[in-house]
């Protein structure tokens, strides 16, 4: 090692250490990005509201637009979704008597929401799922026998269902887009 | 302090029939107790909080902020937690040595405070071999660490202890050699004499006395970091390689003693550097009131020592990765030792031959260079801030500041 190389390595050491220290010093004057969940959030912020649209939190079903096609039940790799639906001429279509999701079993893979034709079953940004018993983690969506949704050729006109369907279709559009945010 | 005790004895304030050495011993224990419990332990403890706070901000986190205002009492909580924990001695360990090792480390660290100055009057013992005493008593730490590594009867601990021994013994040489130029300039080993030979302004600090002491400052600082087992020289602990090195088998209070010595050592590094290179406790004005005068001197010395010895090493710790063992050795023997020798000879030659005008010019040039380097550094900081393209609302100079709102 010649003298030139020797001095150059000293110069490199000083320069690179100085550069590194400049980077850390610049971080010292930035505000931290940490959110102090759960008790010191700024203002009325809910962490759930800041999460991305496709965040995979606890599963939810919009029964208003569920067609009872059982695609989600078939897609679930661990069978945590159970749906009971029967044809009932008098009521005018499929009648759902049970739509249970066992969140204790759910592994948040998202395979149920991909085949859903209306986006009725989807993950929400809600993640606070702690509970005291396994039984109470089973989410029962059908409270009373419900008639399954039938898509209309002209598009949805009912003002009560329209926003729910729009949101469901947005999930489908987001899935079709693929990739990450 | 010896003079104070002697004057009390002379004034017949001591009880009759008690020999002087009893009084001296009592005074030494009392002063020692005051220094250890009133200064050393709080400094070591609070430094852990300061370090975690700064580390958090450098990683865009917040750091401990729950115990007390801005998390300030975190160090007390940690101390209490550690004292309540079980003191485990592994069955395969060498019991007596294992129990004794933390005290040796602690002795080596606290012992330095006997000769460290606080103000022009406040120093426990202004030894005429002060700086020599400080460097030699610090060497006791390596005995304790090696003892801990050996007595743990564990491969990781032993590797840590041996690494520490190799590292401290190697880096004592450039550290010692960087003290010599200052000793040459002052002609004394006493800490107070070294400070008295300097002045209040940076112009009269030994840091800028000549190009060789300027280099010696950096050589000493790097060597002191290595002796204190601080990152990037934390090979003896090396969490990612050696679990916790020599401290692996220790729990509770004994573990805490090791880390107290490590954090407290930072202040010792700062105090030595301040004494040798940064003008010590000198303040530009003198005041009639001795309390004001010594208070200011204490504040000056403390701020310098804390800034250079504690804040800069923390900053370095969160900037640099740990260096390899062979790099650590080559840095010492191939770079620091030769440079330290050049500094020693250079200072001697400088004192013999440099004319007065040249000394003045070189001091001014070195001062300008230091200011220029600081400005260039600040430009790089601004560059990195601008490269991040952050809005003004995402900047905060307050290290106790809270989080950014989401969005």
- Best mutation target among A1, A14, A24, A37 (most B Cβ atoms within 10 Å) is A24
N-term to C-term CA, chain B: 60
Chain A residues inside the 8 Å CB shell of B51: none
pLDDT (0 to 100) of residue B13: 63
Chain B residues inside the 8 Å CB shell of A36: 62, 65, 402-403
A·B CB contacts under 8 A:
95
- CB contact (8 A) between residue A22 and residue B377: yes
Chain B residues inside the 8 Å CB shell of A47: 406
What does each C-alpha distance from B66 to B55, B73, B144 come to in angstroms? 16, 9, 35
How many CA atoms, within 13 angstroms, populate the side-chain half-sphere of residue A24?
Answer: 21
Q: Whole-angstrom Cα distance, residue B242 to residue B214? A: 36
- List the single residue in A with minimal CA-CA distance to B407: A50
What does each C-alpha distance from B147 to A165, B6, B86, B360 come to in angstroms? 72, 39, 21, 50
Chain B residues inside the 8 Å CB shell of A17: 316, 319-320
Mean pLDDT of A6-27: 90
B318–chain A nearest CA distance, Å: 8
- List the single residue in A with minimal CA-CA distance to B382: A26
Cβ partners under 8 Å of residue B74, min gap 6: B48, B49, B52, B64, B66, B67, B68
Predicted structure pTM score: 0.80
pLDDT (0 to 100) of residue B371: 93
B104–chain A nearest CA distance, Å: 34
- CB contact (8 A) between residue B403 and residue A35: yes
* B202-228 pLDDT, tens digit each: 888 888 888 898 999 999 999 998 888
Residues of chain A contacting B, Cβ within 8 Å: 10, 17-36, 40, 42-43, 45, 47, 50
- List the single residue in A with minimal CA-CA distance to B334: A6
Q: What's the sign of the alpha-carbon dihedral B301, B304, B307, B313?
A: negative
Chain A residues inside the 8 Å CB shell of B59: 27
Is pLDDT at A42 greater than 80 in this prediction?
Answer: no
- List the single residue in A with minimal CA-CA distance to B386: A26
Q: Whole-angstrom Cα distance, residue B372 to residue B364? A: 12
What is the torsion angle, in degrees rounded to the nearest 10, for the CA atoms of residue B197, residue B198, residue B199 and residue B201? 170
Which of B58, B319, B406 lies at the smallest CB-CB distance from A45?
B406
- List the single residue in A with minimal CA-CA distance to B313: A21
- CB contact (8 A) between residue A31 and residue B61: no
Chain B residues inside the 8 Å CB shell of A20: 319-320
Q: Is the ipTM above a cut-off of 0.90?
A: no
- CB contact (8 A) between residue B404 and residue A33: yes
Average pLDDT of the residues of chain A: 86
Chain B residues inside the 8 Å CB shell of A43: 405
B283–chain A nearest CA distance, Å: 29
Q: Whole-angstrom Cα distance, residue A70 to residue A56? A: 21
Which of B58, B61, B318 lies at the smallest CB-CB distance from A34?
B61
B45–chain A nearest CA distance, Å: 22
How many CA atoms, within 13 angstroms, populate the side-chain half-sphere of residue A175?
Answer: 19
A32–chain B nearest CA distance, Å: 4
Q: Whole-angstrom Cα distance, residue B376 to residue B370? A: 10
Bridge partner residues of A121 (DSSP): A61
Which of A21, A25, A32 lies at the smallest CB-CB distance from B403?
A32
Residue A106: what are its φ and ψ, rounded to 5°? -55, 135
* A133-173 pLDDT, tens digit each: 988 899 998 888 888 888 887 877 788 888 888 888 888 88
Cβ partners under 8 Å of residue A38, min gap 6: A47
Q: How confident is the model at residue A180 (pLDDT cuts 50, 70, 90)?
A: low
Chain B residues inside the 8 Å CB shell of A8: none
Chain A residues inside the 8 Å CB shell of B402: 31-32, 36, 40, 42
- List the single residue in A with minimal CA-CA distance to B379: A22
Chain B residues inside the 8 Å CB shell of A35: 403, 406
Instruction: Specify whether the CB–CB gap between B229 and B160 falls below 8 A.
Output: no
- CB contact (8 A) between residue B388 and residue A17: no
Whether the link from the prior residue into B232 is cis, omega within 30° of 0, is yes
- List the single residue in A with minimal CA-CA distance to B53: A28
pLDDT (0 to 100) of residue B337: 93
Kindly give the parts of chain B with pLDDT less than 70: 1-18, 392-393, 397-407
Average pLDDT of the residues of chain B: 84
Q: How confident is the model at residue A46 (pLDDT cuts 50, 70, 90)?
A: confident
- CB contact (8 A) between residue A47 and residue B404: no
């Amino acid at each position: 090692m010649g003298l030139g190389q020797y001095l150059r390595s000293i110069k490199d050491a000083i320069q690179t250490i100085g550069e590194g220290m400049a980077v850390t010093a610049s971080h010292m004057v930035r505000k931290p990005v940490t959110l102090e969940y759960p008790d010191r959030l700024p203002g009325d912020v809910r962490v759930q509201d800041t999460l991305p649209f496709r965040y995979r939190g606890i599963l939810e079903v919009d029964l208003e637009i569920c067609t009872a096609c059982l695609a989600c039940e078939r897609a679930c790799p661990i069978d945590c979704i159970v749906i009971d639906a029967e044809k009932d001429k008098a009521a005018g279509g499929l009648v759902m008597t049970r739509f249970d999701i066992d969140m204790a079993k759910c592994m948040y893979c998202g395979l149920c929401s991909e085949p859903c034709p209306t986006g009725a079953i989807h993950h929400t940004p809600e993640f606070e799922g702690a509970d005291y018993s396994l039984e109470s983690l089973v989410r029962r969506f059908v409270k009373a026998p419900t008639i399954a949704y039938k898509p209309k050729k002209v598009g949805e006109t009912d003002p009560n269902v329209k926003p729910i369907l729009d949101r469901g279709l947005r999930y489908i559009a987001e899935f079709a887009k693929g990739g990450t945010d | 302090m010896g003079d104070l005790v002697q004057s009390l004895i002379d004034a017949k304030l001591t009880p009759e029939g008690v020999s002087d050495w009893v009084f001296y011993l009592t005074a030494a224990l009392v002063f020692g107790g005051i220094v250890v419990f009133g200064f050393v332990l709080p400094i070591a403890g609070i430094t852990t909080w300061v370090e975690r706070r700064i580390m958090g901000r450098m990683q865009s986190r917040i750091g401990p902020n729950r115990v007390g205002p801005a998390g300030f009492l975190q160090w007390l909580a940690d101390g209490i937690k550690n004292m309540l924990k079980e003191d485990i001695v592994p069955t395969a360990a060498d019991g007596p040595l294992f129990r004794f090792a933390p005290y040796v480390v602690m002795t080596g660290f606290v012992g330095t405070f006997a000769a460290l100055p606080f103000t022009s009057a406040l120093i426990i013992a202004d030894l005429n071999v002060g700086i020599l005493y400080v460097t030699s008593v610090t060497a006791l730490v390596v005995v304790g660490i090696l003892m801990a590594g050996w007595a743990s009867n564990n491969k990781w601990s032993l590797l840590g202890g041996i690494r520490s021994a190799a590292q401290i013994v190697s880096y004592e040489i450039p550290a010692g050699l960087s003290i010599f130029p200052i000793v040459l300039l002052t002609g004394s080993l006493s800490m107070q004499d070294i400070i008295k030979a300097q002045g209040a302004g940076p112009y009269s600090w030994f840091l800028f006395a000549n190009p060789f002491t300027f280099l010696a400052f950096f050589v000493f600082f790097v060597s002191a970091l290595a002796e204190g087992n601080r990152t990037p020289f934390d090979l003896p602990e090396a969490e990612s390689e050696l679990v916790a090195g020599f401290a692996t088998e220790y729990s509770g209070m004994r573990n805490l003693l090791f880390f107290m010595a490590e954090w407290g050592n930072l202040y010792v590094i700062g105090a030595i550097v301040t004494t040798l290179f940064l003008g010590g406790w000198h303040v530009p004005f003198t005041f009639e009131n001795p309390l004001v005068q010594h208070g200011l001197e204490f504040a000056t010395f403390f701020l310098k020592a804390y800034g250079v010895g504690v804040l800069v090493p923390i900053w370095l710790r969160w900037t640099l990765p740990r260096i390899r063992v062979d790099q650590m050795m080559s840095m010492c023997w191939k770079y620091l030792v030769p440079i330290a020798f050049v500094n020693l000879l250079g200072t001697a030659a400088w004192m013999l031959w440099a004319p007065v005008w040249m000394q003045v010019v070189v001091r001014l040039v070195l001062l300008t260079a230091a200011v220029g380097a600081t400005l260039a550094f600040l430009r790089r900081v601004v560059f990195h801030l601008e490269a991040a393209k952050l809005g003004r609302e995402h900047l905060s100079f307050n290290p106790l500041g809270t989080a950014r709102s989401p969005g």
